[in-house]
Structure 1
Amino acid sequence: MHYPGRYWHKLDDGRIQCDLCPRYCKLHDDQRGACFVRMREGDGIVLTTYGRSSGFCIDPIEKKPLNHFYPGTSVFSFGTAGCNLACKFCQNWDISKSRDMDRLMDAASPQEIADTAARHGCASVAFTYNDPVIFAEYAMDTADACHALGLKTVAVTAGYITELARGDFYAGMDAANVDLKGFTDDFYVKLCGAHLQPVLDTLMWLRRETGVWVEITTLLIPGHNDSDAELEALTRWVHKELGAEVPLHFSAFHPDFKLDDIPPTPPATLTRARRIALANGLRHVYTGNVHDMEGGTTFCTGCGKPLIVRDWYEIRDYRVTPQGTCPDCGTALAGRFGRYGPAFGAQRVPVAIHRGL
């Protein structure tokens, strides 16, 4: 169960420093990092959750959320336990904050995951539910097995990873949805136990140095990261540093974990955020966790006609050509398309691993 970890070095005082994420945990023997799943064992660091999952499901790719990465296809999703952030608003806290390794009842090798996803006709495999950065070795090995079978791979992540590790990790990913949780360091420090700049560094590096398809999600929490000033700053930064074509998702918060006394995000807040982003030049801005067909629809940036009409995760109309263009004016739509089509639907299907396939 304890798999040799990468990205660490010994310190002069006898401790070992984990170099996977910007926390740089410095560990004595048998001590765990802040993520809880990476632990010092002897003269190295081990991953304690390799091959152990908190569950497997088949989701619509739009649930990640990814709206421009083979829309309408199914994605085989799984996570483990633990997290390297400490978000007070975590909506998967029972998984990401778990300290009970016995809850990881679904054991599967990278090859078994790839085989099962292929057997169920999934177009891709997503590392999600908790942050795949902390189970990087498991995710990277699974990505290799998926690619060998022609499956795509997706990281749903906070982007909190070091320069040392990110090249190896994202080399195995075809797409990423990165949570940009807010746009002030104060927000990250007080509500996430982290810092903003490493996330911005990851996003800029992904866009400028890799071929990974990137979309961004910001969960809007009333009174914390939803002011006009912060939304103006965030969307202007995305436009300047990442480009107008990067899809940005504004999602609705619901009371959970340590922020259960804050009301849900009003739909009007999502509409306001989307309006600000569009005014600042972003071309693909979406609203999430609400029924909003306008905010869920992908429009052609050439003629303005709707190309993919969505209601939450359900695709109501799909008009993108296999080449990823508008059928009316021929304008190319940013994203990944190809031979896939909208055949899966909005359901979520729990799956058991099929061994020996």
Structure 2
Amino acid sequence: MKEASFWSASEEGGKVQCFLCPHSCMISEGKRGICGVRENRGGKLYSLIYASASSVHPDPIEKKPLFHFHPGSYALSFGTVGCNFKCIHCKNYEISQAKPEDYSLIEIMPEEAVQMAKEHKCEGIAWTYNEPTIWWEYTYDTSKIAKREGLYTAYVTNGFTGEDAIREIAPYLDAANVDIKSMSDDFYKKVCGGRLQPVLDSCSIYRDAGVHLEVTYLIIPAHNDSEDEIKKFLKWAGDELGFDIPIHFSAFFPHYKMRDVPPTPLKTLLKAYEIAKGEGFDYVYLGNVPHGDYEDTFCPSCGNRLV
């Protein structure tokens, strides 16, 4: 447990307000924020998951997915428990919706995490599996040491993060993949328990702060797969991030509370790919599909395969 960052005491009888993410939770004594891992104890806000990992595994950086960042390298990947979203289709719901006291967590201090990465011959560290920013204090402390030791750092994030938190860690964070779940605020409210605009804003903030950025769009049948919504997503990406932003369209498979929705048809993914290329995007990829060619990188000028 460690005192949290990005909070202030409230004038309302012992409550504190957390500003780590745009929920800006007002938290009473003994209660927790929406993420389930930040608690008001004695009028101070504490992180309950500092240095507490649920999962540790060396992964190819391409698995994040990050295709334009240290290709061919491995990142020692860390997850914990909790999330500031409540996505009903989350494939990692066993950890993202778990409470710290209900899970057997492993204590790994920042110095140990960096040493483990080096022992596994990983070139970097990634925070993934669940939302990394909810254990911001740990990722910040570890990233500073990782930078000093010559390792890269990366987030795989839902993007629902406050600007101050992004900008403070940006000098020590090398890359981020942000998951754009839909271009509908109604989808975010009903399916995720969040809002769209802060996610879009965070992408621009990461980019502006010099963090390498790639974006993923999980295509869910009958929820966010219309051509109009795909085009809306691409219009935003082109205008705000540029046509050289790597875009990953990913296939949905039934999980958690959305098991009645079928997997994404290949033709839907191919159509999204075709639209994106037609709009002028240089680097478009398809994930969770059997055809490996759609995970290759081609030169936008001559068309030759690069990676």
Please classify the TM superposition score into its range, dividing by the shorter chain length: over 0.9
Q: One-letter code of the match for 2:267?
A: A
CA distance in 2, matches of 1:277, 1:136: 33
Where does 1:91-110 land on structure 2 (aligned, <5 Å)? 91-110=91-110
The Cα shift of 1:21 comes to 0.5
Where does 1:106-255 land on structure 2 (aligned, <5 Å)? 106-207=106-207, 209-255=208-254
The Cα shift of 1:293 comes to 2.4
Q: One-letter code of the match for 2:16?
A: I
Q: One-letter code of the match for 1:203?
A: C
Percent identity of equivalent pairs: 43
- 1:301 equivalent to 2:261? Answer no
- Deviations 1:210-239, CA, capped at 9 Å, x for gaps: 211000011110000010000011011101
CA distance in 2, matches of 1:119, 1:93: 30
User: Residue 197 of structure 1: SS of its match in structure 2?
Assistant: helix
CA distance in 2, matches of 1:158, 1:105: 22
CA distance in 1, matches of 2:29, 2:102: 22
CA distance in 2, matches of 1:302, 1:64: 26
Q: Which runs of 5+ in 2 are unaligned?
A: none
Q: One-letter code of the match for 2:273?
A: R
| Aligned counterpart, 1:20 | 20
- Deviations 1:83-130, CA, capped at 9 Å, x for gaps: 001111111100100125352332110000100101111011001111
User: Residue 76 of structure 1: SS of its match in structure 2?
Assistant: strand
- Deviations 1:215-266, CA, capped at 9 Å, x for gaps: 0011110000010000011011101110011100011111001101101111
CA distance in 2, matches of 1:49, 1:41: 14
* Contact residue 118 and residue 149 of structure 1 kept, 8 A: no
Q: How many residues align?
A: 306
The Cα shift of 1:174 comes to 0.2
* Contact residue 57 and residue 76 of structure 1 kept, 8 A: yes
* Contact residue 231 and residue 273 of structure 1 kept, 8 A: yes
CA distance in 2, matches of 1:171, 1:101: 33
CA distance in 1, matches of 2:47, 2:171: 20
Q: One-letter code of the match for 2:182?
A: G
The Cα shift of 1:163 comes to 2.0
| Aligned counterpart, 2:290 | 291
Q: One-letter code of the match for 1:136?
A: W
Q: TM-score, normalised by structure 2?
A: 0.97
The Cα shift of 1:43 comes to 2.1
* Contact residue 56 and residue 77 of structure 1 kept, 8 A: yes
| Aligned counterpart, 2:53 | 53
Q: One-letter code of the match for 2:27?
A: L
- Deviations 1:20-41, CA, capped at 9 Å, x for gaps: 1011111111101110001111
The Cα shift of 1:278 comes to 1.1
CA distance in 1, matches of 2:196, 2:292: 31
* Contact residue 81 and residue 104 of structure 1 kept, 8 A: no
Compared with structure 1, are the counterparts of its residues 23 and 10 closer, same or farther at alpha carbon in structure 2 (3 Å cutoff)? same
Q: TM-score, normalised by structure 1?
A: 0.84
CA distance in 1, matches of 2:299, 2:261: 37
Higher relative CO (Cα under 8 Å, sequence separation at least 6) belongs to 1
By percentage of residues, which structure has more helix? 2
* Contact residue 252 and residue 290 of structure 1 kept, 8 A: yes
| Aligned counterpart, 1:74 | 74
CA distance in 1, matches of 2:135, 2:64: 18
CA distance in 2, matches of 1:134, 1:100: 12
CA distance in 2, matches of 1:57, 1:256: 22
- Deviations 1:261-308, CA, capped at 9 Å, x for gaps: 101111111111111111111110100011222311100112111111
Q: RMSD of the TM alignment (CA)?
A: 1.0
Q: One-letter code of the match for 1:285?
A: V
- Deviations 1:177-218, CA, capped at 9 Å, x for gaps: 0001111111111111100000111111222x2211000011
User: Residue 306 of structure 2: SS of its match in structure 1?
Assistant: strand
| Aligned counterpart, 1:268 | 267
